């Protein structure tokens, strides 16, 4: 593992389950992170961002009244967003291909499947810091560049439209859960 020091980073943990919030806090404390704030849902987190400027947001998907996906859209495209560029790691128990695509296309930077390990969380944080992706703005998307690989493209320019729907991923059933490795390939 990298010797990256994340102790000075500020994290906003957005999770409706108090037990999971405690786990995420403990994982961060294991890396000597001292500054974390918590929110029970996306609406509370958005309000918290007005006075607390996190370096990274750890975000659950299913919460009420504002879920994780709607929170990401609000942060990325809302006129009153406190920080459209804040890195967001979606941390969820849902690993179906369509959910991962939805999260990526709404503007999350990274995606982690519960249960998670300290190593996997640190790996995603390291990825955000050591290999930050530039942000892209089109008519239908604002967020981190969804491509990680640099490949040549000789086709027609399609930016400005919806994200490409064709995915080169082998999944037996679109509703079947995916492994962390499989879902990582969707961000490549």
Kindly report the number of other CB atoms within 10 A of residue 95's CB atom: 19
Instruction: Say if 160 falls within a structural domain.
Output: no
- Residue 27 sits in a domain whose CATH number is 3.40.50.2300
Is the pLDDT reported for residue 42 higher than 50? yes
Instruction: Say if 67 falls within a structural domain.
Output: yes
Strand partners, 57: 12, 88
Instruction: Say if 154 falls within a structural domain.
Output: no
From the number of C-beta atoms within 10 Å of its C-beta (0-12, 13-18, 19+), residue 81 rates as: middle
Average pLDDT over residues 51-73: 97
pLDDT, tens only, 146-169: 776 555 556 666 655 554 444 333
Least reliable range by pLDDT among 68-72, 107-111, 118-122, 157-161? 157-161
Mean pLDDT of the chain: 86
DSSP-derived pairing of the beta strands 142-144 and 135-137: antiparallel
**Residue from 31, 11, 4, 5 nearest 117 by CA:** 31
Kindly report the number of other CB atoms within 10 A of residue 135's CB atom: 15
Domain count within the chain: 1
pLDDT, tens only, 75-97: 999 999 999 999 999 999 988 99
∠ CA 26-59-178 to the nearest 5 degrees?
Answer: 95
Tokens of 10: 């500020």
Tokens of 70: 């709607």
Q: Are 41 and 48 in contact (CB under 8 A)?
A: no
Terminal Cα-to-Cα distance of the chain (whole angstroms): 21
Instruction: Say if 131 falls within a structural domain.
Output: yes
Whole-prediction pTM: 0.80
d(CA 48, CA 54): 10
Instruction: Say if 26 falls within a structural domain.
Output: yes
Pick 188 or 65 by higher pLDDT: 65
Instruction: Say if 169 falls within a structural domain.
Output: no
Report how far Cα 165 is from the mean position of its chain's Cα atoms: 19
Instruction: Say if 70 falls within a structural domain.
Output: yes
Instruction: Say if 159 falls within a structural domain.
Output: no
Q: Are 7 and 31 in contact (CB under 8 A)?
A: yes
- The boundaries of the domain holding residue 66 are 10-147+174-185
């Amino acid at each position: 593992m990298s010797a990256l020091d994340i102790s000075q980073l500020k994290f906003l943990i957005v999770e409706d389950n108090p037990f999971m919030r405690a786990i995420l806090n403990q994982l961060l404390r294991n890396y000597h992170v001292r500054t974390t704030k918590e929110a029970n849902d996306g609406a509370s987190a958005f309000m918290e961002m007005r006075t607390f400027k996190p370096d990274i947001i750890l975000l659950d998907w299913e919460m009420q009244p504002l879920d994780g996906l709607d929170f990401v859209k609000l942060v990325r495209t809302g006129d009153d967003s406190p920080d459209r560029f804040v890195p967001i790691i979606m941390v969820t128990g849902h690993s179906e291909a369509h959910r991962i695509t939805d999260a990526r296309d709404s503007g999350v930077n990274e995606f982690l499947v519960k249960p998670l390990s300290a190593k996997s969380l640190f790996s995603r944080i390291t990825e955000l810091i050591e290999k930050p992706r530039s942000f892209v703005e089109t008519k239908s998307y604002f967020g981190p560049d969804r491509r990680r690989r640099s490949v040549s493209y000789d086709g027609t320019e399609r930016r400005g439209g919806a994200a490409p729907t064709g995915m080169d991923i082998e999944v037996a059933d679109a509703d079947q859960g995916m492994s962390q490795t499989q879902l990582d390939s969707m961000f490549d």
